């Protein structure tokens, strides 16, 4: 079996994967923004960076919301990077690869907006999570079928 990776698909994956990596890095900044806004930190030494009112708190709802969104990213984006880098070796069509890669990245950006930036009522978050989840699931199954046949 020969490995045939289309360079156009690699470019699309690199571009959109880079955007997604930056989005995940931005989650740390969003967490820090909430910590400074609420003056709540995870370690005693961090409180010296802020006002005298600042304290160590582990259950601030706004900080925890961003942290849950960050964790959810890691639960979904890490498998996506692994699965996509395997799937593009199965010689998918450029239009399908482009559609699935863009769809996943856009759904993760929407997930962050509706979870951590402007909390939206459900099913906004569930849908953004679900579409991305199905995208990764499709690519994983199609990779397994490709290499097992
Ligand atoms: N680890 C997730 C597994 C299920 C999941 O990812 N659900 C999506 C759609 S409802 C979600 O955004 N969960 C919120 C979260 O992970 O904090 C959880 O505990 O909820």
pLDDT at 44: 93
| Protein residue with least CA distance to atom 17, ligand 1 | 68
| Protein residue with least CA distance to atom 2, ligand 1 | 72
Average the pLDDT over 133-146 and give the result. Answer: 98
Domains of the chain: 7-148 (1.20.120.550)
Complex ipTM value = 0.98
**Residue closest to 136 by CA, chosen among 104, 110, 112, 108:** 104
pLDDT at 2: 67
Average the pLDDT over 20-49 and give the result. Answer: 95
**Residue closest to 23 by CA, chosen among 141, 130, 128, 140:** 128
pLDDT at 51: 83
- Exposure on the CB side of residue 133, measured as CA atoms within 13 A: 9
Given the CA of residue 75, which atom of ligand 1 is nearest to it?
Answer: 1
Is 50's pLDDT higher than 90?
Answer: no
CA 89 to CA 9: how far, in whole Å? Answer: 10
């Amino acid at each position: 079996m020969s490995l045939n990776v289309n360079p156009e698909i690699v470019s699309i994956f690199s571009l959109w994967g880079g955007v997604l990596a930056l989005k995940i890095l931005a989650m740390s900044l969003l967490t820090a923004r909430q910590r400074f806004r609420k003056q709540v930190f995870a370690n005693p030494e961090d409180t010296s960076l802020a006002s005298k009112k600042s304290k160590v708190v582990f259950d601030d709802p706004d900080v925890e919301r961003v942290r849950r969104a960050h964790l959810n990213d890691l639960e979904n984006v890490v498998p996506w990077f692994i699965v996509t880098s395997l799937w593009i070796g199965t010689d998918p069509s450029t239009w399908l690869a482009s559609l699935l890669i863009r769809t996943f990245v856009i759904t993760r950006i929407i997930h962050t907006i509706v979870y951590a930036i402007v909390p939206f009522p459900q099913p906004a978050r569930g849908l953004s999570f679900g579409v991305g989840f199905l995208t990764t699931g499709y690519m994983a199954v199609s990779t397994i079928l490709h290499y097992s046949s």
